[in-house]
Structure 1
Amino acid sequence: MAANKLYIGRKVRDLRQANRATQAQFAERLGISVSYLNQIENNQRPVSAGVLVALAEKFRIDLAELSGGEGDRLVSALSETLTDTLFDGYTPSLQELKLVTQNAPGFAHALIAAHRAYRHNSEQLASINDTLGRSLAAAETTPYEEVRDFFHFVDNYIGDLDMLAEALAAEIGIGDADPGPVLSGYLERHYGVRVARATQNDDLVRAYDPEARLLTLNPYLPAPTRHFQIALQIAQLHAEAVVDSVAAGAGFRTTEAYEICRIGLHNYFAGALLLPYRRFMAAAREVRHDLDLLAARFGASLEQVCHRLSTLQRPGQKGVPIFFARIDRAGNITKRHSATRLQFARFGAACPLWNAHQAFESPGRITRQLAETPDGARYLCLSMQVSRGGRGFRQPQQHYALALGCEVSYAENFIYADDMDLTNASAYDPIGISCRICERTQCASRAVPPLKGRLVIEHNMRRTIPYSIRPAGDAPQS
């Protein structure tokens, strides 16, 4: 199979402009003609291997950053948007999608936002009999969706916050000892804030009294959660200016989204403080991404470890590209990020054949799966169940599945792949993104018909699926 051609015109143009070079100057340093550079920047010609090597040597950049798949998230979101029946009669090629997302990412984001608003309004109007007299304001994009998309499209990495947290971790010695005393000691020495335990066991997790300089924590929190809540308080005091700057620069439409984003950024700093970037990435490589060992080494929870692995996207120092998601029992994806070609559906449930759903059947252990998506990409998928909530007989707990994985080409970095036959095509389970956009027409686990495609109903024959699916655009048989 021929290798995919690499069109990275916008990245090359941004790199040239960052170096304040004209096309003639830049082309001379690369050893190519000005006309060839102009064609590259306008995505009229792909980048050759020789040009890639020259870019790496002359400008000291990581080839993975140029040829990586960070644009896949936007391509996936735009592709899913255009599968809506609203766009019947138009099915763009992958190359068309890439050209739009690479050359006009702002336009792609605008189209996705417009489609999201359209869907919300359509759903609201569909249930108008039940909501008559209510405001249609609820049909707008929710603040949580705005914030989710913000983190999704910045690659789940906030450089200013991450480096600030890493510097503080080195200053106070995070990673060298039990983080609890280190964090609480720093909080009291530098900010005069004492940490105390609440006297009652209710649904309180944390409470901060700024006047009394007192942080109160639930006495029954597990150690990793307690450490995280202290780190979160440090984030609010130590990183407030950076958090406010990042949130203000995101351009949210509502105050609610702005405030929700600030919470997310405080959480980001807390995770980066407990799991400092370079130290954590080095440990992950050392133990080959053994999640239990990483959790034990840093005094963290499995969820904290998985989430942190998904943020290792620092330019020039990227970790293994992974996907990460948290799913509740109803199949709702409450956290998600992917630095791989696998992108999660923005609407609807995840594929029922994905092993993430099996985590609830096997509490206490990590489930493994080799999976293949319709585009031919293959993945090592891991899933596990985690529980959150209060302790005690009458305190409710929430149970979630964590899903983590990488493309098979990176599987050797994971200890979980050691005894798996990665070369055996029959070992891979066929999975999709979600039924509404899945291309597999013969999947017995299909829950709903695809948005695009004609249904053929056969009254005199019953198969596993009660209908056949003809690709969109195919003429019906006479």
Structure 2
Amino acid sequence: MAEGTKKIFAGARIRNVRLERGMTQAELARKLSISTSYLNQIENNQRSLSAAVILSLVDEFDFDLSGLLMDGSGKVSVELQEVLNDPVFAENKVLNQELKAAANTAPNLAEAFLHLYKVFQNTRMQLGRLDTSLPGLEASITPQPYEEVRDYFHRHDNYIDELDRAAEAFSGRLTGAGQGPLDALAQHLEKAHGVTISLTDDGGGNVIRRFDERGRRLYLSQASSPATNLFQMAYQVGLLEQKRLMETLLDQAGFHTSSAREVCRMTFANYFAGAVLLPYARFADAAREARHDIDRLALRFGASREQIAHRLSMLQRPGHKGVPFFFVRVDRAGTVTKRHSATAFQFTRFGASCPRWNVHQAFATGQEILRQLAVTSDGIGYLCLAFSKAERRASFDERARYYAIGLGCEVAHADQIVYADDLDTKRTTRFEPIGASCRICEWRECSHRSIPPLTHRISINHNARQAVPFEIE
């Protein structure tokens, strides 16, 4: 793990501050009381920010400090590294320093390159299917809707300010009504929109929410927990009351297909619902006070563990940021069904994730919250939490659905997390090496490796056999 004080490079952000105000480098340098050459070096990430420059930025421009140590460039450089490990780039040797420089100094170009690779990857996968007909190829060059929406939220650190504040304001009005949240939401839907609530077993456990627009009736599954039904009611409020804001955000996003637009509309409504149940300022303060104890927060807010963990990964409001977490949900087949991150933690886009990651062990441990100190090949240490959950069954004949939830943050924030209190976060030997997936993992000594890394040659020793049948050169 990297130790010591981190140097802060924020060239792209400083350049944006200058360009947004129509200033030349000389003008901004005078404002910051530094030389023009020094500012030029800062904007090109050749020099880090000094304390004096940071204070001048705050005084002159009300500069937000909360995102300096982890901005989008860290995540972009990780994505670039994964993409460049594809064999198609075997002849192109790009250093990690070059990737970081590209992400910092030319973030829009880096994003364009990542988008181009996704188009290429989709096309390659489509061409590899022998049963694909020619007319289907046109659709293959556009990003997949869910991937495009995930990338949108990834770029925004899983925080949408306008939607979050609208939900927080609505939650405040509900709280002021002096009722329980279920009754308050039901009454609001009826008074404001003429919508009544009915519990039903229609469709067994498969139908969680169904809105009869003509009859103005919202059907909720009686097999769902109160927390789930409360979420679905807030979701319906979001669709009914935030349509204009959502349309504006969707227009700004510029998705490539109508399918991606509708997936994002659904995700916006989910976002609004979560922010209503767990309003930003109140929840962020409670999380800090409870030192991010998931069960304490779930009890206090009447929410599920998954809802709490998901909301913790969304606390990235400028000026009031929480601990940057990653969040992931995995099914029993190992498929990632949800992923969000405000960290540099690397999720695999293709293939299975690392078997040493504790999220895969959660299925065997019931309701226990697993803890793991892990380190990735870039030297960053993480505190990883994992627990399993089972969706309630509506009948004996229905097969239960099981998921594992993963939540984690950089170990630098461990003093704010109750789960780290008795862990020795100072000893590097306590950290288990993990990677995104075997195909791009740089760890050479790993008895769990299933396939060789794409960027290294292997050798076979016919006179000896270890757990892994090859050696990485």
TM-score by length of 2: 0.94
Output aligned runs, 1:5-44, within 5 Å: 5-44=7-46
Number of residue pairs aligned between Structure 1 and Structure 2: 469
Q: Does 1:385 align with 2:394?
A: no
- The aligned residue for residue 475 of structure 1 is none
The alpha-carbon distance between structure 1 residues 453 and 322, as it changes in their structure 2 partners (threshold 3 A), is: same
Point out where structure 2 has 5 or more consecutive residues left out of the alignment.
none
Find the aligned partners of 1:35 and 1:69 in 2 and give their Cα distance. 24
- The aligned residue for residue 420 of structure 2 is 417
For 1:192, the aligned partner's letter is: G
After the TM superposition, which of the residue ranges 263-272 and 422-431 deviates more from structure 2? 422-431
* Partners of 1:184 and 1:194 within 8 A in 2: yes
For 1:244, the aligned partner's letter is: E
Measured after TM superposition, the shift of residue 174 of structure 1 is: 7.5
Measured after TM superposition, the shift of residue 17 of structure 1 is: 3.2
- The aligned residue for residue 270 of structure 1 is 273
Partner of 1:71: helix, strand, or coil?
helix
Output aligned runs, 1:52-451, within 5 Å: 52-128=54-130, 130-131=131-132, 135-137=136-138, 139-140=140-141, 141-173=143-175, 178-198=180-200, 200=202, 202=204, 203-451=206-454
Partner of 1:63: helix, strand, or coil?
coil
Point out where structure 1 has 5 or more consecutive residues left out of the alignment.
471-478
Find the aligned partners of 2:149 and 2:177 in 1 and give their Cα distance. 30
For 1:454, the aligned partner's letter is: R
* Partners of 1:174 and 1:274 within 8 A in 2: no
The alpha-carbon distance between structure 1 residues 435 and 32, as it changes in their structure 2 partners (threshold 3 A), is: same
Find the aligned partners of 1:298 and 1:179 in 2 and give their Cα distance. 10
* Partners of 2:326 and 2:341 within 8 A in 1: yes
* Partners of 2:66 and 2:318 within 8 A in 1: no
Find the aligned partners of 1:193 and 1:11 in 2 and give their Cα distance. 46
Find the aligned partners of 1:180 and 1:5 in 2 and give their Cα distance. 48
Measured after TM superposition, the shift of residue 265 of structure 1 is: 0.6
Report % sequence identity.
45
Measured after TM superposition, the shift of residue 132 of structure 1 is: 6.2
* Partners of 1:8 and 1:47 within 8 A in 2: yes
Find the aligned partners of 2:380 and 2:178 in 1 and give their Cα distance. 40
Find the aligned partners of 1:173 and 1:21 in 2 and give their Cα distance. 45
- The aligned residue for residue 474 of structure 1 is none
The alpha-carbon distance between structure 1 residues 396 and 464, as it changes in their structure 2 partners (threshold 3 A), is: closer
* Partners of 1:83 and 1:91 within 8 A in 2: no
* Partners of 1:323 and 1:340 within 8 A in 2: yes
Find the aligned partners of 1:20 and 1:113 in 2 and give their Cα distance. 29
* Partners of 1:156 and 1:310 within 8 A in 2: yes
Instruction: Provide the alpha-carbon RMSD of the alignment.
Output: 2.0
Find the aligned partners of 1:443 and 1:11 in 2 and give their Cα distance. 39
Measured after TM superposition, the shift of residue 409 of structure 1 is: 1.3
After the TM superposition, which of the residue ranges 72-81 and 52-61 deviates more from structure 2? 52-61
* Partners of 1:351 and 1:431 within 8 A in 2: yes
- The aligned residue for residue 51 of structure 1 is 53
Measured after TM superposition, the shift of residue 22 of structure 1 is: 3.8
Partner of 1:135: helix, strand, or coil?
helix
Find the aligned partners of 1:389 and 1:252 in 2 and give their Cα distance. 35
* Partners of 2:12 and 2:107 within 8 A in 1: no
Measured after TM superposition, the shift of residue 110 of structure 1 is: 2.1
Find the aligned partners of 1:113 and 1:70 in 2 and give their Cα distance. 16
The alpha-carbon distance between structure 1 residues 458 and 255, as it changes in their structure 2 partners (threshold 3 A), is: same
TM-score by length of 1: 0.93
Find the aligned partners of 1:43 and 1:368 in 2 and give their Cα distance. 36
For 2:222, the aligned partner's letter is: P
Partner of 1:397: helix, strand, or coil?
coil
Instruction: State the Cα deviation string for residues 407-427 of structure 1 (Å, max 9, x = none).
Output: 111111111111112222222
For 1:149, the aligned partner's letter is: D
For 2:400, the aligned partner's letter is: Q
Instruction: State the Cα deviation string for residues 78-122 of structure 1 (Å, max 9, x = none).
Output: 111111111113232222112222232222122222222222333
The alpha-carbon distance between structure 1 residues 365 and 47, as it changes in their structure 2 partners (threshold 3 A), is: same
The alpha-carbon distance between structure 1 residues 454 and 174, as it changes in their structure 2 partners (threshold 3 A), is: farther
Find the aligned partners of 2:267 and 2:163 in 1 and give their Cα distance. 12
